[in-house]
Amino acid sequence: MMDEAIGWSRRVTRGIDVNEETLAVNVIHDVGPNGHYLRHKHTRKFFKTEFWYPNLHDVTTSMNGRPPASRPMRDRTVARVRNISKPITPPPLKPETVG
């Protein structure tokens, strides 16, 4: 579960770029109070669908508000630890590297 917390913390602490271009004050004036930003070229340039999703914690819910049927957290955690703990076999060295 700590890797989940670390992943979330890294995403949150990365922050948001705030500068003249991302603030887009000129776009705000251009579009006006009743305008539509989704059609503006600036919005298309800077729109990012960047989400962080946990690997272990199930964030989905069913229609009745309860989590959907899935493996218990304990089973997901054990499987993740086993996957992380697997020995890694490095690829063999190229002959020109060895000689």
Residue 29 pLDDT level (bands cut at 50, 70, 90): very high
8 burial type by CB count under 10 A (0-12 exposed, 13-18 middle, 19+ buried):
middle
Nearest Cα to 24, choosing from 2, 7, 46?
46
Give the whole-angstrom CA distance, residue 3 versus residue 83.
Answer: 13
Give the whole-angstrom CA distance, residue 1 versus residue 6.
Answer: 9
The structural domains of the chain, with segments of one domain joined by +, span: 2-98
Residues 58/70, Cβ–Cβ less than 8 Å: yes
Residues 6 or more apart whose Cβ sits within 8 Å of residue 78: none
What pTM value is reported for the model? 0.42
Give the whole-angstrom CA distance, residue 2 versus residue 54.
Answer: 11
Tell me the pLDDT tens digit for each residue of 35-70: 888 888 998 888 876 677 777 776 666 556 655 656
